[in-house]
Amino acid sequence: MSEKTDKNAKTGTADGAGRRLSVFKTYKLYVGGKFPRSESGRVYEVTDSEGHWLANAPLSSRKDARDAVVAARKAFGGWAGATAYNRGQVLYRVAEMLEGRREQFAAEVADAEGLSRDEAATQVDAAVDRWVWYAGWTDKIAQIVGGGNPVAGPFFNLSSPEPTGVVAVLAPQESSFLGLVSVLAPVIATGNTAVVIASERAPLPALSLGEVLATSDVPGGVVNVLSGRTAEIAAPLAAHQDVNAIDLAGAGEALAKELEIAAADNLKRVLRPQPVDDWAATPGTERMTAFLETKTVWHPTGSLGASGSAY
């Protein structure tokens, strides 16, 4: 590839003058807490906004998608069962780890989206803050959307939100990092586990995020990141019987419809793509509630009278 020389120019080429040869990074998937290549052995070339080669990314297969679902399902019980406080701690830890790698992500986002370094850094900062925002939500959302219900009878009646399960997330195509974090964080803040399809054209920030998550006490399998052709990976996820919900943020109109039809087969919760003008705007709670179930538990309150029975 001819542009390769440009990339090498940017990252340094060894020459007689003693300039150091840089080390390229092999971008890999993040599945079940590990960093596998695609089982298919395929990669595709990722370029910057001007067409210059940046790296090869794994071209995930349907089998990679299924493996990721298995990993996400395996992680679900533990993550959903963790205390909300603990999940908040872990999400905050993600923000801490990300802050420390701010420069790396700013560079990757700048390349991926054709932004200046400053603009890219603003995106990364917003993404860090977004993790902090959702970290704080983990132990509050239940109080916002759940609560006691004053039923007309001698019953204790409580509604609580619970995570729906494994959520397939099609990350936004344009906002490769802030957009990704904005759709991923609410899914796992509420106790779901995720299989994320990175932006097809700009997957590198998402793949690097896997490295951050792996070192942030996020249990393996809670987040699984796949790169490749969105439509190719999304189809088996939308049809998968062990996926509970799908966020279509990164799907175009035709693909979204096709996936929603496939998702009906086991009645997945579907979050349709919505136009987002500014990923940096403060989100509402909708991305959390979209993947929450409401469980209502009844119990007789009985009486302290002499009737003898509590029922």
Partner 1 sequence: MSKKNKKTRQAAVASAAEAGGTLAATAAATAPVAHAAPERASAFAYAPAPESRAVVDIAPSYGLFIDGEFTEAADGRVFKTVSPATEEVLSEVAQAGEADVDRAVKAARKAFGVWSALPGAERAKYLFRIARIIQERSRELAVLETLDNGKPIRETRDADLPLVAAHFFYYAGWADKLDHAGYGAHPRPLGVAGQVIPWNFPLLMLAWKIAPALATGNTVVLKPAETTPLSALFFADVCRRAGLPRGVVNILPGYGDAGAALVAHPDVDKVAFTGSTAVGKQIARTVAGTRKKLTLELGGKGANIVFDDAPIDQAVEGVVNGIFFNQGQVCCAGSRLLVQESIHDELLDSLKRRLSTLRLGDPLDKNTDIGAINSAEQLARITSLVEQGEAEGAERWSAPCELPGNGYWFAPTLFTGVTQAHTVARDEIFGPVLSVLTFRTPDEAVAKANNTPYGLSAGIWTEKGSRILAVANRLRAGVVWSNTFNKFDPTSPFGGYKESGFGREGGRHGLEAYLDV
C-beta of 266 vs 303, nearer to partner 1: 266
Angle at 100 between CA 94 and CA 106, to 5 degrees: 95
Contact status: 45 vs partner 1 (CB under 8 A): no
Closest distance between partner 1 and the C-beta of residue 263, in Å?
8
Which residue in 4, 140, 300, 303 binds partner 1 (CB under 8 A)?
300
Contact status: 275 vs partner 1 (CB under 8 A): no
Which residues are 225's β-sheet partners? 30, 196
* DSSP tag of 30: B
Which residues are 167's β-sheet partners? 194, 245
Closest distance between partner 1 and the C-beta of residue 261, in Å?
5
Contact status: 201 vs partner 1 (CB under 8 A): no
Asked if 246 and 273 touch (Cβ cutoff 8 Å), the reply is no
Contact status: 145 vs partner 1 (CB under 8 A): yes
Q: How far apart are CA 30 and CA 223, in angstroms?
A: 8
Which residue in 151, 215, 252, 303 binds partner 1 (CB under 8 A)?
151
Which spans in the chain are helix H? 4-11, 62-81, 84-100, 102-113, 117-137, 141-145, 178-189, 204-214, 230-239, 253-263, 286-289
Contact status: 281 vs partner 1 (CB under 8 A): no
Asked if 60 and 227 touch (Cβ cutoff 8 Å), the reply is yes
165 phi-psi bin (left φ>0, alpha ψ -120 to 50, beta other): left
Contact status: 306 vs partner 1 (CB under 8 A): no
Which residue in 35, 139, 159, 280 binds partner 1 (CB under 8 A)?
159
Tell me the site size for partner 1, rule CB under 8 A. Answer: 38
Interface region with partner 1, contact rule CB under 8 A, candidates 167-175, 199-207, 275-283, 297-305: 297-305
C-beta atoms surrounding 306 within 10 Å: 5
Contact status: 311 vs partner 1 (CB under 8 A): yes
Interface region with partner 1, contact rule CB under 8 A, candidates 67-75, 102-110, 226-234, 293-301: 293-301
- Residues in contact with partner 1 by CB under 8 A are 144-145, 149-153, 155, 157, 159, 164, 244, 253, 256-257, 260-261, 263-267, 269-270, 284, 286, 289, 293-300, 309-311
